[in-house]
Structure 1
Amino acid sequence: MLADLINGHRQQFIDLCKAHRVKELYAFGSAVNGPFTAQSDVDLLVEIELDNPVEDGERLWSFWDRMEAFFQRKVDLLTPRSLQNPVKKRAIEASKKLIYDGATGRLLC
């Protein structure tokens, strides 16, 4: 699962989250609930510290790019604000798993 992709590179993952000022990072979809295969993408929900809309957008874009490079596969990166569909939002909220907590700087998977 997702933890298998992160293990062995835990500090690098933490450093990427810190550099992009991630407050919370959740995984959802097959990365959490299976079946997670070599062809699966990685579904992430991220909340970052907000300052300036332009800088925030650039930071999100950079984080998405770095996550795809880290996992070496497609990453779907959502933010709480991007979840407009109430059905999809409820499904993600019900299945998401916190994998990084920016308040403590800890990786939880």
Structure 2
Amino acid sequence: MNQMNEELPRPEAELESLADYYDTHDTGSEMADGEWVEPPMVTTSLRLPKPLVDALKVEAGQQHIRHTALMRKVLAAYVSGDAIQPAEIIDRLERIERLLDRKAG
């Protein structure tokens, strides 16, 4: 066991030996033939109102994706800051309305 009382996946001496190896060797050529893999997915349980799930399924169907993929897409956009915020939508609508009013009047 280490300082945090966590069980190590391999003996500590073996891990130290691996660390020393990677600290002193160039592994670029070994990585050239490697391939990128997606980060692992984690299953989570989320209780949502049925009408919301139904609406997500409809929207996802229009995009030809599963509703769970749509939820991941929306959450990823929100977390990355790419999601359009309600205040931004309201601001855009107000500008459009002003432009339409000017053209009409």
Q: Specify if TM > 0.5.
A: no
Higher share of residues assigned strand: 1
TM-score by length of 2: 0.22
* Higher Cα radius of gyration: 2
Considering Cα pairs closer than 8 Å and 6+ residues apart, tell me whether 1 or 2 has the greater RCO: 1
TM-score by length of 1: 0.21
Higher share of residues assigned helix: 2
